[in-house]
Chains A and B, each alone.
Chain A
Amino acid sequence: MNTPGYPSRRDVVRMVLEGKKPPYTPWSFSFTVEAKETLCQHYQSTELDDVLYNHILGLGSDIGFFEPLGNDLYKDVFGVVWDRSVDKDIGNVKEIILSEPDLSDYTFPDPCHPVFFENIKPLCERHPGMFRVFRIGFSLFERAWTLRGMENLMIDFMLHPGFVYDLMEAIASYNISQIRKALEYDIDAVYFGDDWGQQKGLIMGPGAWRDMIRPHLKNMYQTVRDAGKFVMIHSCGDVKELFDDLVETGVDCFNPFQPEVMDVFALMDRYRGTLSFHGGLSTQKTLPYATPGEVRAESEALLEKGKNGSYIFSPAHAVEGDVPLANMLAFIECARKQLR
């Protein structure tokens, strides 16, 4: 269902990503398990996309597909076992699959298994007006460390750079096969999740990122662009030094746009028309601790700035369970009242 007098949400997001001025600032919010339960209870509905009038429809899965093993253990399609006894949303890798810097004994799963695509048609039919995004979580660096272990991979960057390059290439190649299949559906964009940042700077440093990661990103992104679709990415942390590289590799939209580690207003001005941003509302400082009035003030400033284009409003990360309901309702209301 779209709002009378406005273009469809799908079209509004397209306008934003094409660098055009939208009729209002679009939004799309996501929530962790606990926060989602609070909101669902408040709205007496489990269909938050409808209730919140989210603009982006997530297809596939942002964290991957898992087989429950019991005792809070889940195995992903790559064979990695995750423990969700503490972190209920994703969990922690329980053991390493690649114990040596060697890929010769490892076989990647089938990238075109039907499970990756089975929710595309039903979700698109249910939400025809939303902007359709096929998601690949843990899309490169993160997939590499979940297979190899973070510390091992960091050491491999230094001691076995050839292995790291090959591993990244193999993951990208797997993703490209999956992207090609996803592009057979009527989707608008592909989203790549991959955290590269720390609170200050990159985990692996800009040199290693450019040598080992960037070439494979470019190949994945180009596959999407060749099909005339948009590229959306997510990386937590302070990665602002990469924005020019990201534009050059073909990124259209960057999430989560954390205001604690980057000047979101200055960046919106600097990149408007070349790179769009999705996020921007502080989840580390404002949402858990501020008053609803302060949440409203920050939200309204972002929404106002977003009217110039290249911006999709959202908290800078899935909202966590420590955010008071009143604060969640405050930013939701700010976004929604634009259409009244």
Chain B
Amino acid sequence: MKELLDQISCCIEFGKINNQSPYPPDMKGKDGADELTLKALNEGLNAGDILNMALIKGMEQVGDKFRKNKIFVPQVLMSAKAMGAAMAHLKPFFSSGDVKRKGTCIIGTVQGDLHDIGKNLVAMMVEGNGYEVINLGTDVGADRFLEESEKYPEAVVALSALLTTTMVNMETIVKTLKDKNPGVKVCIGGAPVTQDFCDRISADLYSPDPQGLVEYLNQLHTTNAAN
């Protein structure tokens, strides 16, 4: 059982989607996340164990390596695709409630800003670490974030901006969300964003990389589980 879970984890870490995929070259012709996840389920492995002990484990490696500049956007996308292939088999278990996500994260690029590469990478990593992600896209205003936050009051909200001209809109969004729900956690990131700016606008977290947000969400999840 452990060997199979390790194999799946390895497929996520190195972006091996399925048997047909030629990437990575040293795994060519071997089964990928798609076939191995199905095999694990057929062998009676618990869907929750597959998620936690294989998929999330693999994605944690991806986040760590991306943070350390050991892998780059193409490799992260391949891992996200492998994750997607595996998750497709787990979907019925989420729908039935047999497997639960760790929490929900609402994410979007703020109003006036159309950059979405970084935001989508963060979304993929967060999702790959066991969270439901509600990706609102780009050019998202305070009202839209608020609408979604009211639907999911426990969700953490993550804001992205690439430009100094749009970064200022984060302040309005943080204020709007916290005025309505003082307990809501709002995280910010993007090229020009800094810890100083985060402190100034009273956001809860600034992270320069996706893994920082994942770690923060995991921390909240652990604290909530303990309470």
Contact = CB atoms under 8 A, between A and B. Distances in A.
Contacts of B72: 201-205, 208
B-side interface mostly: loop
Q: Which of B21, B77, B164 has the most CB of A within 10 A?
A: B164
Interface stretch (A16-24, A125-133, A152-160, A262-270): A152-160
B7 interface: no
Contacts of B21: 159
Nearest to A205: B72
Given A159-B22, A284-B191, A154 B73 contact: yes
Contact of B163 (A155, A158, A320): A320
B74 A200 contact: no
Contacts of A159: 21-23, 78
Interface string A142-171: 000000001100110111000000000000
B71 interface: yes
Contact of A87 (B69, B74, B78, B114): B114
B74 A205 contact: yes
Nearest to A199: B191
B165 A154 contact: no
A92 interface: yes
B164 A283 contact: yes
A260 B192 CA distance: 9
Contacts of A320: 163-165
B180 to A, nearest CB: 26
B77 A155 contact: yes
* Size class of the B contact interface (CB-based, 8 Å): 20 to 34
A260 B120 CA distance: 23
A86 interface: yes
A81 to B, nearest CB: 14
B19 interface: no
A321 interface: yes
A202 B194 CA distance: 20
A292 interface: no
A158 B71 CA distance: 12
Given A199-B191, A320-B163, A154 B77 contact: yes
Interface in B132-181: 139, 163-165, 168
Interface string B18-51: 0001111000000000000000000000000000
A95 to B, nearest CB: 14
A157 B78 CA distance: 10
A87 B165 CA distance: 11
Contacts of A204: 72-74
A205 B75 contact: yes
B164 A151 contact: no
B164 A158 contact: no
A200 B209 contact: yes
Nearest to B17: A159
Contacts of A199: 191, 208
Q: Of residues B23, B113, B168, which shows the largest number of chain A Cβ atoms within 10 Å of its Cβ?
A: B23
A111 interface: no
Contacts of B78: 155, 158-159
Specify which of B22, B191, B208 lies most central, judged by the most chain A CB atoms within 10 Å of its CB: B191
A203 B23 contact: no
B207 to A, nearest CB: 12
Interface in B167-211: 168, 191-192, 194, 208-209
B63 interface: no
A64 interface: no
A288 interface: yes
A322 interface: yes
A191 to B, nearest CB: 23
Nearest to A209: B72
Given A155-B77, A158-B74, A200 B208 contact: yes
Contacts of B57: none
A158 B23 contact: yes
Contacts of B88: none
Contacts of A283: 164
Contacts of A321: 165
A203 B66 CA distance: 11
Nearest to A159: B23
A159 B74 CA distance: 10
Contacts of B120: 151
Interface string B61-92: 00000000101111101100100000000000
Interface of A: 86-87, 92, 150-151, 154-155, 157-159, 198-205, 208, 260, 283-285, 288, 320-322
Interface of B: 15, 21-24, 69, 71-75, 77-78, 81, 112-114, 117-118, 120, 139, 163-165, 168, 191-192, 194, 208-209
Given A86-B113, A155-B78, 11 more contacts: A86-B112, A86-B139, A155-B74, A155-B77, A158-B15, A158-B74, A198-B191, A200-B208, A205-B73, A284-B191, A320-B165
11 contacts: A155-B81, A157-B74, A158-B74, A199-B191, A200-B69, A200-B209, A204-B72, A205-B71, A205-B72, A320-B164, A322-B164
